[in-house]
Chain A
Amino acid sequence: MRVFHLKINGDTVDVAAPEHYTLLEILRYELGLTGSKQGCDKGDCGSCTVQVDGVPMLSCLVLPSTVESKAITTIEGLAVQHRSDGGEGASLLQNAFDAAGALQCGFCQPGMIMSAQALLESNATPNRDDIKQALAGNLCRCTGYTQIYTAVESAAKDGGENGCS
């Protein structure tokens, strides 16, 4: 066992866990943050995507001791951040996914949103190619991606109109 000092969704947490646990296992099994999904578990599918200092990474391949000084954001943190910025309910991007019907089974959605959110923070007006590139590491086996791209475009447009994402 080892105590990991982590910053997750704005909270500082000390987690005692086996040293060989991945960040994803810490999130899901030690902290109950089950929004990040355990899909392929070997870096192929993107469903475990979280942001580390704002950069999308695959939590199934991250050793927690290597991200102790960094800010980790999971899908659960988006609405928290949105509300602390003065918004209500879910974030604009989450609502855009909802409105566009950008999911079927929903398993890939948290990873898609975490990748898309990072894109919108670095590029507020992405074109379709930018979105495809940013989501290239997130696989969806249900929808065929079109509504997902539409959702990100819609969130970018709404974010531009409202001055936030």
Chain B
Amino acid sequence: MLRMPKFKVLNPATVAEAVDAIQQVEGSRFIAGGTDINPNLKHRLLEPECLVALNGVEEIFGISQTEFGLRIGAMESLTNVETNTLIQQLAPGLASASRQVSGPQLRNMGTIGGNVMLDTRCKWYNQTYFWRKSLGFCLKKDGDVCHVIKGGSKCVAAASNDTAAALSTLQAELEFANAQGSTRIAIDKLWQADGIWNKKVGPHDLLVAIHLPAALLNQKGSYKKLRDRNSIDFPLLGIAARLKISDNIVDDCALCVVALQARPWPLDKASALLIGTTVGSDAFNEALKACCAIAAKQCRPMPNIPGDHAYRHAMVPVFIRRAILSCLD
């Protein structure tokens, strides 16, 4: 039995009320689907006095086409994103990534916004208080040592958000609201390489919606995920790919990897090699080989999450190849 710490819950009905509510008690946190924060509360990784529940804020729901492209309300469940026909048709890589997050009940509860804002994960961190106390705690919570890198002074807990990789390949813009107003940030500018908090916005900034630019919609996309059990687990490695193909020539390509380091990592050098090649030609096959090789050099998995990191590293080129070839099916 894992008990929650004591807290109170506020249930705002609008974005304005939500960003006001979060400031009422210091250290308050937003709660969307609760599939990440609630286990973390039970493990005493967070101990806020107050939670602000977002399920009653209608403005942050909905999936619709806009002048900019496609707007996805941050509170839409991963099941809704995965099964939405607009997303399946216009952003197949995102539908694929959403389908592979965790298990069915957790996708029914968990939200796309929550997955973007997911806390980083580490095998020395996502444990009960008792377990962590026995170990002597770690940099990310309650301690001052890193168990992943001996003597390390920077937390390297892994970004484990499957959908963030797909959204990176789609150059998503994230709309945040706080007490000062609203801002939009390109998803690749959101991250910082710090496992303690890997985002440049704070926990009091409310993710309202995800905007996908029209120019990158309606292209090929896929997400390939390495995990112990395909039914439920977090990624040991995740690769998102987006390909634009015209007249059998690769016009554009984007790749992004997650679950290796503290932030999702776009693989621009690797993906650029495929551009201009004709699908199925010798040049394409050579470029694909070179793309996988460069990506394997760029990616350096750490022993931060379960699974042998040398194996995870060896799987980088394999999964990049699978992700790209799956776009051609």
- On A, residues with C-beta under 8 Å from B are 2, 18-22, 38, 41-44, 46, 49, 55-58, 60-63, 65-66, 115, 133-134, 136-137
Contacts and interface: CB of A to CB of B under 8 A. Distances in A.
Given A22-B38, A66-B11, A137 B103 contact: yes
A20 B9 CA distance: 8
B153 interface: no
Contacts, number: 81
Name B's interface SS: loop
Interface residues on B, range: 20 to 34
B53 A21 contact: no
Contacts of A136: 103-104, 230-232
10 contacts: A20-B4, A20-B5, A42-B42, A46-B103, A58-B35, A61-B35, A63-B51, A65-B9, A65-B53, A66-B55
A134 B38 contact: no
B183 interface: no
A137 B38 CA distance: 17
B42 A137 contact: no
Contacts of B43: 42
A19 B7 contact: yes
B8 interface: yes
Given A56-B104, A66-B55, A61 B39 contact: yes
A126 B231 CA distance: 18
Nearest to B233: A44
B290 interface: no
Nearest to A48: B105
Given A61-B34, A61-B38, A137 B232 contact: yes
A84 to B, nearest CB: 25
Given A19-B7, A65-B9, A137-B103, A41 B42 contact: yes
A38 B3 CA distance: 11
Given A66-B55, A137-B231, A58 B4 contact: no
Nearest to A64: B9
B66 interface: no
A43 B1 contact: no
B105 A137 contact: yes
A2 B51 CA distance: 14
Interface string B13-27: 000000000000000
B105 A18 contact: no
A46 B108 CA distance: 13
A63 B1 contact: no
